[in-house]
A = this chain, B = another copy of it.
């Protein structure tokens, strides 16, 4: 029990660091956030940070890697679920995409400067996960066209247009505004259907 307690406390602190680090990186950017900032945000010494992460870069990588892995794990199986129609798969993924990027908004640390801060190997890992999602989305559109469900001029361009549209929401959506999250999901589902259906 003592070992378990010790491990749990360690895991909790690591999780807490990742949570606060996500927020600070999201607000100020990775380079503008110091190890001391992160340590202060969780109430520990800066040197203690190095008992949970080998360096600052690893904190960033842990955040990005975990989020992207979770994102792909949640969406790609739905996009590949052949028991559902392409139309239904798209509908479900639109909801998943919007909900995940809202729930875990601070963890979404995309952009060139972030990529620049990671190792080539870490970059490659992120690109691989992103490609997996893009490919799955593109495939379901292709399938829908073949099945006569969708009418799409250029599947690749439409894929990027839809995903960019979904990614943009987190930048302006605030639940305190006129729209609830479910309303946004409904609106975007309809917009995406306009883009792909006959």
Contact = CB atoms under 8 A, between A and B. Distances in A.
Given A164-B171, A194-B195, A195-B194, A116 B157 contact: no
Interface residues of A, number: 37
A160 B194 CA distance: 16
Interface in A158-183: 158, 160-161, 163-165, 167-169, 171-172, 178-179
A191 interface: yes
A187 interface: yes
A169 B158 CA distance: 11
Nearest to A30: B29
Contacts of A172: 160
B190 A153 contact: yes
A31 B37 CA distance: 15
A54 interface: no
Contact of A32 (B117, B160, B169): B117
A154 interface: yes
Contacts of A167: 164, 168
A114 B30 CA distance: 11
Contacts of A120: none
A153 to B, nearest CB: 6
B116 A29 contact: yes
Given A164-B169, A164-B171, A168-B165, A187 B153 contact: yes
Contacts of A171: 164
Given A112-B27, A113-B32, A117-B32, A191 B187 contact: no
14 contacts: A27-B116, A29-B112, A31-B31, A32-B113, A32-B117, A111-B111, A153-B190, A154-B187, A157-B191, A160-B169, A164-B165, A164-B171, A168-B168, A194-B194
The 7 closest A-B pairs by CB, nearest first: A164-B168, A29-B113, A31-B31, A31-B32, A157-B187, A165-B165, A28-B116
